[in-house]
């Protein structure tokens, strides 16, 4: 390596044998580079843009002379701590460089001393290690809100105890716990620590001092601040199973003396850049993990003759855009170096460029994803038509037409991209009926969409079955159909429509007719086959459905229009049976009485009945009644239909007057009560209308006097029948 420039000054205070301690670097938007150097008393800011002539811009004193100072940057702010005194956290504004630096805040509420700090820039968090208020853990401060006035997020104890130094990426912390080894933790939630793994025993173990993670996050270089101990390259891809891959170290005085002591490791690309007490800056190639080789070095303390004590290079910073490396020597101050044999990959210049992920044809409802090319910047501001959007972060999902651009910042510099115009074309509608469709019958069914488009692609159960310019589709099988409608390069997919192809039910039925069809007595039997899965309904003259059955034999006993519904799970048909003059209505006979002679109206046949029982041989149109009782006649008409007449009561005086007992009725005519008195007991009294219709019966109870109340009867003539055992006596009663 080559020395480009150096800086040292006389008269600076010392803390014991320490004049200078740690170092950090910074670059502004114009490419100027700066060093932040610690001395026992001061924090020095130097312009190293001209690497051959470093120039001090300002210095800021601490509260006391301190052996240890540490620095980190975030955006255009620098943060400083000391492990002695009461400085707390000192915050410097670097935005006015190269002219001046200003101390903008000093916070002593959370801690007064700290051995080290680290900033996870991508997450905007500052971690305080080895502080007086939390020596056995870490204090976490948030920088995202106001970097000049950090917010306290948490103060967490760690299982490994005292934490000497810390490296954090994406909330995963790699902590050096001194004699307790290495611990790895997830600090995403400051109030809920998650221990991921630890390494408490390993080869050439000493005082675990500090570490640095490879760019791919799989390997870690850590240093044990113990004479004669090698550096370690460890596989940390699985924190629960940390594996040491290689041991390597510097030994400029070997073979005479090999007890060198490393201090702080860093990684850039495939190289580990180490600040070594006594041996200066050492660079190792990590590309072959099992065979790490030193490839460059610069000795900042050449007067060393052994590895006793702690002298030489304290810190190194290898991340300047120029590729130059700056180092701090405890005795000699600042060194600006060039790693001549190594071509460090230059960091990408700040760029707000973004990549576009979009469909070939941009249509309404589509999403375009814009992704910033540079990840991990401190700020992303997306703009539409020149106006800022609420959306932040490196990714934007857009669904509206407009001109989009990105302004990105690394906290120091800002860049704005070119705007890109996006136009979302109208998307056609794709509609099918929401309800399912059922087709029955033999004709091939057709489904269609009312949506307008240039091209239609039809799908059945998710598989394409047809495409073309027609909005109709003839189908031969059931299932879930969808249509994709295409218009002007855009397309839309419809909802699913269930199509059911049903089979028509079997319309077979049969009718069984009797020999005669007389209304009220004969029945036609309707028989239905009862096929599996087939059902029937029957209604008459549009009346309510009689029933729903799987099979039946249904009796038809009246004229009418019968509607027979035949259906299965999906399909139905109707059969109409018009039986308007099928059943013959029987002719009701009428009886004419002339004395004891009863005559029926004309018919084909006759059968006379007395008190409901057929009279043997009484099968003529007329019948001579010989005894009192209720007579009726059954006739058959020309259609063979039979009918009964209304009954008629006939009263026949079967005894001579001399044989009847004496019966006195009074008063007659009667208005109310009628008294019957007889010289023999009266069993029963019956009252008939003049037409022979029986009105009521009074039980005489075998008494010789019976009373009948006629008060409620209409005025007129009535026939009264008194019954004495087997004898019957008739009398005419007049009701007033």
Q: Tell me: pLDDT of 654 over 70.
A: no
Residues 288 and 238 sit within 8 Å (Cβ to Cβ): no
Top-ranked range on mean pLDDT: pick from 279-283, 433-437, 508-512, 717-721: 279-283
Q: What does the pLDDT look like over 441-466, one tens digit per residue? A: 777 789 999 999 999 999 999 999 99
User: Which among 638, 523, 507, 521 is positioned nearest to 579, based on CA atoms?
Assistant: 523
Q: What does the pLDDT look like over 96-132, one tens digit per residue? A: 999 999 999 999 999 999 999 999 998 999 999 999 9
User: In the numeric block, which tokens belong to residue 467?
Assistant: 């495409």
What are the structural domains of the chain?
2-338 (2.130.10.10), 354-422 (2.60.40.10), 437-502 (2.60.40.10), 510-579 (2.60.40), 591-650 (no CATH), 657-735 (2.60.40.3080)
Q: What does the pLDDT look like over 196-241, one tens digit per residue? A: 999 999 999 999 999 999 999 999 999 999 999 999 999 999 999 9
* Torsion of the alpha carbons at 671, 673, 674 and 675, rounded to the nearest 10: -150
Q: Are strands 497-502 and 437-440 parallel, antiparallel or unpaired?
A: parallel
Among 326-330, 341-345, 475-479, whose mean pLDDT is lowest?
A: 341-345
Q: What does the pLDDT look like over 293-321, one tens digit per residue? A: 999 999 999 999 899 999 999 999 999 99
**Ramachandran category for residue 570: left, alpha or beta (phi over 0 → left; psi -120 to 50 → alpha):** alpha
CA distance 354 to 516: 97
> Residue 704 phi/psi, 5° resolution?
-90, 5
Confidence of residue 68 (pLDDT cuts 50, 70, 90): very high
Percentage of residues of the chain with pLDDT beyond 70: 97
Q: Tell me: pLDDT of 84 over 80.
A: yes
Q: What does the pLDDT look like over 239-252, one tens digit per residue? A: 999 999 999 999 89
Confidence of residue 367 (pLDDT cuts 50, 70, 90): very high
CA distance 119 to 126: 4
Q: Tell me: pLDDT of 547 over 60.
A: no
CA distance 170 to 513: 94
Confidence of residue 604 (pLDDT cuts 50, 70, 90): very high
Residues 223 and 278 sit within 8 Å (Cβ to Cβ): no
Q: What does the pLDDT look like over 563-580, one tens digit per residue? A: 888 888 888 888 888 888
CA distance 258 to 731: 161
Q: Could you identify the residue written with the tokens 């490994």?
A: 160
Whole-number pLDDT of residue 350? 86
Whole-number pLDDT of residue 545? 63
Residues 158 and 175 sit within 8 Å (Cβ to Cβ): yes
Average pLDDT of every residue of the chain: 91
Cα within 13 Å of Cα(293), Cβ side: 4
CA atoms 545, 546, 551, 554: torsion sign? negative
CA distance 696 to 736: 19
Cα within 13 Å of Cα(525), Cβ side: 7
User: Which among 257, 264, 174, 189 is positioned nearest to 224, based on CA atoms?
Assistant: 264
Confidence of residue 656 (pLDDT cuts 50, 70, 90): very low
CA distance 401 to 193: 45
Length of the chain: 736
Distance in Å from the first CA to the final CA of the chain:
155
CA distance 306 to 259: 8
Q: 662 versus 116: which is more confidently predicted?
A: 116
CA distance 316 to 252: 18
Q: Tell me: pLDDT of 652 over 80.
A: no
CA distance 680 to 686: 17
Q: Tell me: pLDDT of 549 over 70.
A: no
Average pLDDT on 507-515 reads 87
User: Which among 204, 253, 252 is positioned nearest to 229, based on CA atoms?
Assistant: 204
User: In the numeric block, which tokens belong to residue 160?
Assistant: 């490994």
Q: Coil, strand, or helix at residue 651?
A: coil
User: Which among 240, 332, 318 is positioned nearest to 284, based on CA atoms?
Assistant: 318
Q: Tell me: pLDDT of 546 over 80.
A: no
Global pTM reads 0.60
């Amino acid at each position: 390596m080559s020395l480009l420039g150096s800086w040292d000054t006389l008269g600076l205070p010392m803390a014991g044998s320490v004049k200078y301690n740690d170092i950090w670097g910074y670059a502004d938007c114009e490419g100027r580079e700066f060093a932040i150097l610690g001395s026992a008393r001061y924090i020095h800011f130097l312009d190293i843009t001209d690497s051959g002539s470093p120039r001090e811009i300002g210095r800021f004193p601490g509260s006391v002379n301190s052996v240890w100072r540490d620095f980190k940057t975030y955006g255009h702010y620098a943060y400083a701590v000391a492990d002695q005194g009461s400085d707390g956290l000192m915050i410097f504004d670097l935005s006015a460089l190269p002219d001046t630096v200003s101390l903008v805040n000093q916070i002593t509420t959370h801690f007064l001393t700290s051995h080290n700090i680290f900033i996870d820039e991508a997450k905007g968090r500052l971690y305080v290690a080895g502080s007086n208020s939390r020596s056995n853990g870490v204090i976490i401060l948030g920088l995202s809100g106001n970097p000049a006035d950090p917010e306290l997020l948490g103060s967490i104890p760690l299982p490994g105890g005292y934490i000497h130094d810390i490296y954090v990426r994406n909330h995963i912390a790699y902590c050096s716990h001194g004699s307790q080894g290495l611990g790895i933790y997830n600090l995403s939630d400051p109030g809920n620590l998650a221990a991921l793994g630890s390494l408490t025993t390993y080869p050439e173990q000493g005082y675990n001092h500090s570490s640095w993670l490879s760019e791919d996050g799989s390997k870690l270089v850590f240093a044990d601040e113990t004479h004669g101990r090698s550096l370690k390259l460890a596989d940390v891809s699985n924190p629960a199973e940390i594996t040491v891959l290689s041991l390597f170290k510097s030994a400029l005085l070997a073979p005479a003396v090999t007890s060198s002591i490393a201090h702080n490791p860093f990684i850039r690309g495939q190289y580990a850049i180490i600040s070594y007490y006594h041996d200066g800056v050492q660079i190792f190639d990590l590309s072959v993990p099992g065979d790490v080789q030193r490839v460059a070095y610069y000795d900042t303390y050449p007067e060393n003759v052994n590895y006793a004590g702690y002298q030489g290079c304290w810190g190194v910073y290898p991340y300047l855009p120029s590729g130059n490396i700056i180092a701090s020597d405890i005795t000699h101050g600042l060194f600006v170096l060039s790693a001549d044999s190594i071509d460090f990959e230059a960091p990408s210049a700040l760029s707000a460029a973004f990549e576009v992920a979009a469909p070939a044809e941009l249509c309404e409802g589509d999403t375009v994803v814009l992704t910033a090319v540079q990840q991990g910047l401190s700020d992303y501001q997306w703009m539409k038509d020149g106006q800022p959007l609420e959306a932040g972060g490196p990714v934007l999902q857009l669904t509206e037409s407009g001109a989009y651009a990105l302004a990105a910042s690394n906290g120091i510099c800002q860049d704005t991209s070119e705007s890109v115009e996006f136009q979302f074309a109208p998307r056609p509608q794709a509609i099918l009926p929401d309800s399912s469709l059922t087709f029955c019958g033999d004709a091939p069914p057709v489904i269609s969409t009312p949506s307008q488009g240039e091209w239609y692609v039809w799908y059945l159960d998710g598989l394409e079955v047809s495409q073309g310019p027609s909005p109709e589709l003839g189908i031969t099988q059931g299932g879930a159909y969808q249509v994709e409608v295409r218009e002007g390069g855009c397309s839309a997919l419809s909802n699913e429509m269930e199509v059911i192809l049903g089979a028509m039910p079997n319309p077979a039925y049969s009718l069984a007719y009797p020999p005669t069809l007389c209304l009220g007595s004969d029945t036609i039997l309707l028989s239905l086959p009862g096929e599996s899965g087939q059902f029937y309904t029957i209604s008459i003259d549009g009346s309510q459905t009689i029933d729903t059955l799987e099979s039946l034999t249904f009796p038809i006993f009246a004229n009418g229009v019968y509607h027979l519904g035949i259906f299965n799970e999906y399909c139905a048909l109707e059969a109409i049976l018009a039986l308007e003059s099928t059943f013959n209505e029987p002719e009701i006979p009428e009886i004419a009485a002339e004395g004891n002679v009863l005559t029926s109206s004309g018919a084909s046949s006759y059968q006379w009945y007395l008190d409901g029982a057929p009279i043997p041989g009484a099968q003529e149109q007329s019948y001579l009644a010989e005894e009192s009782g209720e007579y009726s006649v059954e006739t058959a008409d020309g259609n063979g239909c039979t009918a009964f007449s209304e009954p008629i009561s006939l009263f026949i005086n079967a005894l001579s007057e001399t044989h009847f007992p004496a019966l006195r009725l009074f008063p007659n005519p009667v208005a109310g009560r009628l008294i019957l008195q007889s010289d023999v007991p009266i069993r029963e009294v019956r009252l008939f209308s003049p037409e022979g219709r029986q009105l009521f019966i009074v039980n005489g109870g075998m008494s010789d006097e019976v009373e009948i109340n006629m008060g409620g009867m209409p005025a007129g003539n009535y026939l009264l029948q008194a019954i004495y055992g087997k004898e019957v006596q008739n009398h005419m009663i007049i009701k007033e």
